[in-house]
Structure 1
């Protein structure tokens, strides 16, 4: 059961990262809208690059989360098979 808890805790940390990066993307998008409204194209382009970087980071974190979910399921199934 200790291994299961470790897997779940790792997954929760990844979820926290995912939510943080997602909120950062939203924050950057709000800033981008302000720059575009004020016709500050250079600043808007800079923030758009940051948004793209954050989206790539989000994709990697999401992939990690999916792998962790598979690990949790696999471990749970192995434990259930061992009990039977």
Structure 2
């Protein structure tokens, strides 16, 4: 009878140990995922910054092109009026 109680106690302890190990594995998996997501968020932020920089550059080039177009039109109009 004493051995039977011992067996039950050890079995319960093994069940608890399995739960502990399972939780530890899940925590490690979640931490790895968290690290991966953090790195991806940093990459997304870098991309957003690059996009904003390129949008500003695009606007500057569009403004230059527009000014050059206006200059070309004025030059043509002066040439035609002579």
**Normalization by structure 2: what TM-score?**
0.54
Deviation string, structure 1 residues 10-65 (Cα, Å, up to 9, x no partner):
xxxxxxxxxxxxxxxxxxxxxxxxxxxx9511100001000000000001000000
Partner of 1:52: 31
- Report SS of the residue matched to 2:49: helix
1:42 corresponds to 2:1: no
Aligned to 1:66: 45
Which sections of structure 1, spanning at least 5 residues, go unmatched?
1-37
Deviating beyond 4 angstroms after TM superposition, the runs of 4 or more aligned structure 1 residues are none
Residue of structure 1 equivalent to 2:61: 82
Distance of 1:51 and 1:58 partners within structure 2: 10
Give me the CA root mean square deviation. 1.5
Q: Which residue of 2 aligns with 1:5?
A: none
Q: TM-score, normalised by structure 1?
A: 0.53
Greater C-alpha Rg: 2
Q: Which residue of 2 aligns with 1:6?
A: none
CA distance in 2, matches of 1:83, 1:50: 49
Instruction: Give the count of matched residue pairs.
Output: 47
Show the counterpart of 2:70: none
Report SS of the residue matched to 1:69. helix
